[in-house]
Structure 1
Amino acid sequence: MKGITEIELTDVRTGAKEKYTETNLVTNVMADFFSHNINGMLFTIEGNTNDLNGNMLPLCKNAIGGILLFSDTIEENPNKYYAPSANPCVGYASNDVNATTNVMRGSMNLTETKKLDHGYKFVWDFTTSQANGTISCVALTHKWAGIGYMGDGYNGTGSIWVMRSRSAGSSGQARTAYINAVEINPEENYFWTIGINTNNELIIQKIRMSFTAVGLNDTMLGTNYDVLFEIKLNPTMFVMSNPSNNEGAYDFFDGKDGYWYGFWASANKDGNANLCKIKINKSDFSFTEERMILNGVRSQAVGYHGGYNTNPQRNVQSVLQNGYLYMVSYDKTKVYKINIENAADIKEIPLGSATAYSCNDDYYRSGSIYLANLGDWIVGSDFRINTEDKVFRKANSAPWTYTSTPLFQYGPYFFSFGGYYANSTRQNLFLWTPYLATINNLETSVIKTADKTMKITYTIQEE
């Protein structure tokens, strides 16, 4: 595909016009959408269907039906199709007319937008109050991302599309392995899972799963329990006081630095939270343990696990990113950013008002997810935090249906496991819609101000 962008600013006082024209780079996100069929989730193997018509197809006005405007340029790499969180999005628009008072969102010009031979001509209009700021990059995106980008005060769900949710009855051992997943490897068709049994043994397993290759006996329903490797560790600190009860306020995370980390901390309203940490080397499974006193910290629980090999449950209540653990405060008004190697390095990130701290809405079954990593964003149900610790509030929404694990990214998708009633596993596939289908860096940044309207004409054609 080849695209040309024309941006026209009109001064409403003088009628003077400024025009900027640039060509774009097309990313691989559309190719990866159709080729990255993780665990066959795009197929109707059993149960509900998945209708791409009107959601993705035709590409123009659906999968490519929105526009995003960024303050800074974006690396022109076809394999990186999400903007860094620190790059401010100053405006967006979808394939419809903005009927809200949202000043970041423009409107599609339904009269001038039209299908072309081997292509499409998009036209978007922005009033004097909309998308004001510096614009250095323009990108085509999914129509839903053009409604609210990563979520705003008007919209909280548009950044995620629940592509598929598949369930199947399975053994307690299989359900435990899926719900305790900490890392997946789609290219090599396995995942790692960590849990604590009723003997206070920490069980690490490598489980085969047909993410990108199908074996002769695979059903792809989530019933297989093919253990490729297992090791048992015997920690002394990271243990339950009553292991037969088999539940605790802990969770395990992939540090993406050659280690898995476990953290244990109950909800604390009195301050000086006690955080137990275990650090496990992925290569030889050696581990270290320590207790960290978090001065002044009053937090929600770090997570929850229970029901090993019987009725497994898990709550994902914290996230680990770039060596920092993010935990919501007990009163829900801030997020603690905790250096996992230095208990004195703690930052409070005020949210402005209390978060709803909600999860899964009506789809709560055997677990839930309260916080998630989306690229380099930290995302709650009604807020998101970028790498500069800046908070953006959004309409409250918890789109993670039947989700009991972290979200594992593969291309433009996020994959998760969950529980469903008493004896079923759940596999979930989400599409993260604010992708960059194109990247169009402007040679000269456009300064949009409140005395100017803006018209963007984006023509994209097959070569």
Structure 2
Amino acid sequence: MRLKGTMTMELMDVNTGEVETVVEENLVTNAVNHIFGLNPMGVFYEIGDSIDGIKWQSGLLPICPNAIGGILLFSKALEENVDNIYSLSDNLPVAYASNNVNSTANVARGSMNLTESKALDNGYKFVWEFTPSQGNGTIAAAALTSAQGGANAYGSQVNDSSTFLQLKSIKLDGLSMAKQLVLFEAVEVDFEKDLLYSITYQDTGVRIRKVRIPIFSIGLNEKLDDTTYTVLDDQVIQTSTFKFLGDYTLYGEFLDGGDGYWYGVSNEGNSSGNAAMVWVKIKKEDYTMTEGEWTLSNAKLMDVGNRDEGSSFPERVLKCCVRKGYLYVMAYNKKGIYKINLANSSDVTLIDFGFTSKWKPLCETGTCEVYMTLIGDLIVGGDFQVTVEDKVIPTQGSFRLNDAATPLFQYKNFLLGWGGSYGNEYRTMYLLTPYLASINNLSSAVVKTVDKTMKITYTLTEEAVP
């Protein structure tokens, strides 16, 4: 079967009654195929002591109006490619709608017309409506998405909990704390090669472990509950300057730079004066490294995070993020975020929030916490987002993750992470919900204003392939 989509967009001027009509056909992407065709780490299977976050039959099926049940509207055109399943952060949705009526105060969100929307013999007819106050802005492209993705996209000041849909959590109670720590200190996951890289600082050096985990291939003696992962390589690189600073609490974090290097950073946080930070840069190819110490003039930083391998439970608190060669660290007063050039410590910028962050983690507080993570090129914090253009978007700050210690590692629609709190340890898989199930670029952009209502009729049908 082949899917065909046709969209009719009608903007009516409430003062004159004049109607502007746009009709476009779409390209269907691989987003939904990935969800039902891929099975990373056996997310579709009952495994060990697993906790399902969603019932597939009711949450994602039938595909319409669930796995495809929302719409996203963009101010710029989208690349027309079947593998383009998420927009970049310089083109986040300006408006959206889900498979129900919007009863919230979110003015970016419209409502589904539940009377006119219906299943067809060979597909589905969606009808969404936006009042004069809803969905205003320039619209150059549209995309079908999941019902959850159409509720608040990547998050709003009304709600941001629907962005990450928990698919499954695997309890790790059967692993020793030493084995849990290897997973909790993960810095990178190579999904295609079934590999995880775990990095920490121990004694006088940086310890790097290369670990095989069954993601898409499973060995004759392997299970899918993390109890049979294999450490393939274990090396310690001695450092002279870099270490985890602190006495009782050891502050420091390792992050994937996405540029062929891993970066280690450590600071103790400072409410005044200059910020002292030590760093190490490790080349992935051969583990060669450079290290140094910075004094960041007049920078008042939160600590980048902390670790504790000697506690009764594995502890990792992640408070920083690396994107495109820059380290992002929260300002001590919680009113902004510092952007620090990892190649030039004199290049430091304070990005003002325009508000004071609650500075809460993406999960509940506990022995492990994650305060921000990188999704594509969007930094997602507790109650803020930072786009690739360093534009700050405030959000509500709902809890979105299960107990979390690691960044979220992304493979297509799926997000993977490990974490725990006080003896409850998990590996959790999420669905990143605001995906592009279709791409529909308008021939000419339209502008929705407070003087206009908007009605979108989107018909998606199945057709036999000749």
Query: TM-score w.r.t. structure 2 length?
Result: 0.95
- Count residues with an aligned counterpart: 458
Correspondence 1:93 to 2:94: no
2:227 counterpart (206, 223, 247): 223
1:187 maps to 192
Matches within 5 A, 1:42-121: 42-47=44-49, 48-49=51-52, 50-121=54-125
Matches within 5 A, 1:2-401: 2-47=4-49, 48-49=51-52, 50-168=54-172, 169-197=174-202, 199-240=203-244, 247-307=249-309, 311-362=313-364, 364-401=365-402
Q: Secondary structure of 2:224's match?
A: coil
Deviation at 1:225? 4.3
Q: Secondary structure of 2:165's match?
A: strand
The residue type equivalent to 2:455 in the other structure is K
Contact 2:313 2:422 in 1 (8 A): no
1:460 maps to 460
Contact 1:9 1:448 in 2 (8 A): yes
Q: Secondary structure of 1:9's match?
A: strand
Deviation at 1:387? 1.0
Alignment partners' CA distance in 1, 2:242 and 2:69:
49
Alignment partners' CA distance in 1, 2:314 and 2:123:
50
Contact 1:316 1:405 in 2 (8 A): yes
Structure 1 pair 242–159 and aligned structure 2 pair: CA distance change class (3 A): closer
Identity across the alignment (%): 40
Structure 1 pair 380–241 and aligned structure 2 pair: CA distance change class (3 A): closer
Give a deviation string over 1:254-276, Cα, whole Å, max 9, x none.
11111111001111111311111
1:443 maps to 443
Give a deviation string over 1:289-324, Cα, whole Å, max 9, x none.
111111111111111111169743111100001000
Contact 1:148 1:159 in 2 (8 A): yes
Structure 1 pair 118–355 and aligned structure 2 pair: CA distance change class (3 A): same
Query: TM-score w.r.t. structure 1 length?
Result: 0.95
Give a deviation string over 1:159-202, Cα, whole Å, max 9, x none.
111111111221233111101111111111111111122x3232
Contact 1:265 1:301 in 2 (8 A): yes
Q: What is the RMSD computed on CA atoms of the aligned residues? A: 1.7
Contact 1:420 1:426 in 2 (8 A): no
Alignment partners' CA distance in 2, 1:457 and 1:270:
56
Deviation at 1:89? 2.2
Give a deviation string over 1:402-454, Cα, whole Å, max 9, x none.
110111001111101113533x6421111111111010000111121222211
Alignment partners' CA distance in 1, 2:35 and 2:267:
39
Structure 1 pair 381–360 and aligned structure 2 pair: CA distance change class (3 A): closer
Q: Secondary structure of 1:462's match?
A: strand
Give a deviation string over 1:199-245, Cα, whole Å, max 9, x none.
323211111100111112112112224111111111011125789x6
After superposing the two structures, state which structure 1 stretch, 20-29 or 10-19, moved more.
Answer: 10-19
Contact 1:300 1:328 in 2 (8 A): yes
Deviation at 1:27? 0.8
Give a deviation string over 1:25-66, Cα, whole Å, max 9, x none.
111111111233221122121333441122111111111111
Alignment partners' CA distance in 1, 2:102 and 2:254:
42
The residue type equivalent to 1:304 in the other structure is N
Contact 1:306 1:312 in 2 (8 A): yes
Give a deviation string over 1:84-123, Cα, whole Å, max 9, x none.
1111422111111112232211111111111001200000
Gaps of 5+ in 2: none
Contact 1:372 1:379 in 2 (8 A): yes
The residue type equivalent to 1:318 in the other structure is C
Runs of 4+ in 1 over 6 A off after TM superposition: none
After superposing the two structures, state which structure 1 stretch, 95-104 or 286-295, moved more.
Answer: 95-104
Deviation at 1:353? 1.3
Contact 2:146 2:433 in 1 (8 A): yes
Alignment partners' CA distance in 2, 1:418 and 1:66:
31
The residue type equivalent to 1:191 in the other structure is L
Contact 1:172 1:309 in 2 (8 A): no
After superposing the two structures, state which structure 1 stretch, 143-152 or 40-49, moved more.
Answer: 40-49
Q: Secondary structure of 1:86's match?
A: helix
The residue type equivalent to 2:167 in the other structure is M
